[in-house]
Amino acid sequence: MNKVILIATTAFGLEKIVKKEVTDLGFKITGVMDGRIEFEATINDIPVTNIWLRCADRVLIKAGEFTALTFDSLFENTKAIDWGAFITEDGRFTVKGKSVKSKLGSIRACQSIVKKAVVEKLKEKYKTEQFKETGPDFTIQISILKDTATLTIDTSGPGLHKRGYRVEFNEAPLKETMASALVLLSFWNKERLLIDPMCGSGTILIEAAMIARNIAPGINRKFVSEQWPVINRNIWKKIRQDALNAVDSNIKLQIIGYDINEKNIQSCLVNARKAGVQEDIIFKKQDIKDLWVDKQYGIVISNPPYGIRISDFKKINDIYIDINKIFKKKKGWSIYILTADEMFPEYFKRTYPDRVRKLYNGRIQVNYYQYYGEKPDK
């Protein structure tokens, strides 16, 4: 019944974690490529994937894939796809595109051919010459990589990082999808103490609390495909209701966020309240140089200011030294730092990190440095 291949797109470096999320939701993976995970699903699975995937950027329908060496073949292969299975007679649709290392390099020409081919196909299906385009939105993307064209339809609308809880924040906030991945890539679990000593707008800690409470990341937002008649509205309703029922309200979390800037702390409080985790996190204004932690065993996940974006190097190096000072004499602290600054391990003054993951924060290549502390006794 309405079988499709869905694609969860991801930031580079997060493929593994998104693959796990997709598998945990019960889907069969059919392909893993840079920045995308493909899996078998039905149209009716679009709500559950959009509402539950924490680390993916978007969910797309794979409409077709073929070799495109000429504009004619692009037109014919695009026209062969059953666009009317998704796009309504009054559907408003735009075509976006990109082409990498391919013969058909003019993306504007490709976009316009795809648009023409889709219109021709819809004319046949709806037996009309004119389309009003006053209905739901459909964004088609043509991506050509080494002469293979992939056509997709976006089901998410705004990217999945837009959970809807974050107020305006100017100091290089992490995307919620990335923050969530940092937590899932760490050893943190809901029984353990978690600290972000430079928490900015609180994204890492809010995502951690949402993970611990099993709050679906997309529960409070809308998706473009909610307007599509091909997905029964009751399915969206049911998935949202199931997600509400799945929230774990019987846990006590130990999560603390500090930041030097009082305004940021106020943003954290607003964000945490909107995300429904205000009871779970303590936020406090505190300069890291005056921070004192008296507990053993815990997890630090943080992304300090990046020199190239918002601060200067001397200050940043002092911050690294401070983080080390706070935790080096305490037993059992695992430290996870996301930064673009390759000098970090040098100034942090520990032995080599146990693991370094190369990730992308937007367009910036960053490293996720992981230092493991002793595990607490069971």
181 within 8 A of 368, measured Cβ to Cβ: no
| 283, β-bridge pairs | 257
Q: Give the residue with the Cβ less far from ligand SAM, 81 or 179.
A: 179
Which residues between 70 and 129 bind ligand SAM (CB under 6 A)? none
DSSP code, position 174: P
Which residues between 226 and 245 bind ligand SAM (CB under 6 A)? none
Dihedral sign of CA atoms 218, 248, 55, 161 in order: positive
Which residues between 311 and 330 bind ligand SAM (CB under 6 A)? 319
**Among the listed residues 15, 38, 154, 259, the single contact to ligand SAM using CB under 6 A:** 259
Residue 218 CA to residue 176 CA, distance in Å, equals 11
| 8, β-bridge pairs | 37, 59
**Among the listed residues 305, 345, 353, 373, the single contact to ligand SAM using CB under 6 A:** 305
Q: Would you call 321 exposed, middle or buried from its count of C-beta atoms within 10 A (0-12, 13-18, 19+)? A: middle
Assess 257 for contact with ligand SAM (CB under 6 A).
no
Residue 361 CA to residue 319 CA, distance in Å, equals 21
**Among the listed residues 288, 335, 359, 366, the single contact to ligand SAM using CB under 6 A:** 288
Q: Which stretch binds ligand SAM (CB under 6 A): 29-37, 105-113, 259-267, 272-280?
A: 259-267
Nearest to 164 by CA among 212, 215, 119, 107: 215
Assess 209 for contact with ligand SAM (CB under 6 A).
no
Residue nearest to ligand SAM (CB): 200
Instruction: Identify the three-state secondary structure at position 333.
Output: strand
Assess 367 for contact with ligand SAM (CB under 6 A).
no
Q: Which stretch binds ligand SAM (CB under 6 A): 48-56, 237-245, 260-268, 361-369?
A: 260-268
Q: Kindly state the smallest distance separating residue 130's Cβ from ligand SAM, in Å.
A: 47
Nearest to 197 by CA among 332, 333, 309, 313: 333
Residue 114 CA to residue 279 CA, distance in Å, equals 50
**What contacts 264, CB < 8 A, 6 or more positions away?**
169, 171, 199, 200, 201
236 within 8 A of 226, measured Cβ to Cβ: yes
372 within 8 A of 339, measured Cβ to Cβ: no
**Among the listed residues 118, 204, 209, 224, the single contact to ligand SAM using CB under 6 A:** 204
Binding mask 143-182 for ligand SAM (x = CB under 6 A): --------------------------x-xxxx----x---
Assess 13 for contact with ligand SAM (CB under 6 A).
no
Q: How many residues bind ligand SAM (CB under 6 A)?
A: 24
Q: Kindly state the smallest distance separating residue 286's Cβ from ligand SAM, in Å.
A: 6
Chain residues binding ligand SAM by CB under 6 A are: 169, 171-174, 179, 197-201, 203-204, 258-261, 264, 287-288, 303-305, 319
